[in-house]
Homo-oligomer: A and B are copies of this chain.
């Protein structure tokens, strides 16, 4: 008998298949292989082929937009939003619009075309996280923006148009709906219980352990109780923290280890899947609060379709999270990475 499960935060019900639960090998898909063919604007020496950089780490001497960097942030050459201008909010009868003002940046995570966030050294991943943080903090100075959204498309099937490892940042004058839902629900829970719902969930999950994929001093990765997708994972700080960008440096180092470990486990169990991740954090101006708990959501791209799911908000997950967690927990990955 399949199970209907409710996500305690969003209130979304999902169907979890149990009878013919899919194992990792049951998903037919293409692994992400880095071909290295053709011209790559993110490779060392091609710095002038991107818009001028807004941030670079690692360069000792040498001018901007020259080699020598380890992490580099540039405006997206084909931005979804325009950086100039006012919002110019307007109504038209029932409808509301504003200018598509925002920042759209690319974080080039490494000069090496072959590396990924699962294979880079922990120290290099930590630098990527610092770049996220530095850019978020800088963009928050722009009073037009209400939210800074960090996300990553890894692999063609997950929407990456370039294979060289990179993340993206979109700064928006509005808070995305799914984040707003989490914020509202966690605020409501806090008003009732004076506890953070994420902290409660982490406590319950680490005590039971069945959906825990990995854990280190400061972070835990779990397969959520009511996932929308097979092998969906959430990576959360164990101590309450409402904003990604407001943390001590040891947090980013610990997060780098946990992120590498989690992505390496996905690579091992699912043979280098395409995936998306998104960083959910508090909006600009609401950074310090007791109810919201920042986290990464990681979604491997294993199933082909979801038009139906988009239209209904109703998901059928073919692998119980207890099983995905077990597969990932038992995977053999380099022991140094997570601890």
Contact = CB atoms under 8 A, between A and B. Distances in A.
A153 B305 contact: yes
A125 B97 CA distance: 38
A198 B314 CA distance: 22
A312 B176 contact: yes
Given A151-B311, A307-B158, A94 B201 contact: yes
Interface string A154-176: 00111100000000001011101
A10 B95 CA distance: 12
B307 A82 contact: no
B314 A100 contact: no
A6 B170 CA distance: 18
Interface residues of A, number: 74
A163 to B, nearest CB: 14
A314 B12 CA distance: 17
Nearest to A89: B4
A212 to B, nearest CB: 15
Most buried by B among A17, A149, A278, A299: A278
Given A95-B6, A305-B158, A307-B299, A176 B82 contact: no
Query: Quick one: copies of this chain in the complex?
Result: 2
Interface string A174-194: 101111110000000000000
Contacts of A1: 82, 85, 99-101
Given A95-B225, A157-B304, A157-B305, A179 B278 contact: no
A110 to B, nearest CB: 21
Contacts of A17: 80
A197 B204 CA distance: 42
B314 A153 contact: no
A21 interface: no
Select the residue from A179, A204, A305 with max chain B CB neighbours within 10 A: A305
B149 A305 contact: no
Given A197-B94, A200-B94, A311-B297, A173 B4 contact: yes
Nearest to A159: B305
Interface in A1-29: 1-6, 8, 10-13, 15-18, 20
Interface in A62-120: 78, 80-82, 85, 93-101
A257 interface: no
B316 A80 contact: yes
Interface in A223-240: 225-226, 228-229
A175 to B, nearest CB: 9
A308 interface: yes
Interface of A: 1-6, 8, 10-13, 15-18, 20, 78, 80-82, 85, 93-101, 149, 151, 153, 156-159, 170, 172-174, 176-181, 197, 200-201, 204, 225-226, 228-229, 275-278, 297, 299, 301, 304-314, 316
Nearest 10 pairs of A and B residues by beta carbon:
A2-B100, A159-B305, A276-B307, A178-B313, A177-B313, A176-B314, A278-B311, A6-B96, A176-B312, A8-B94
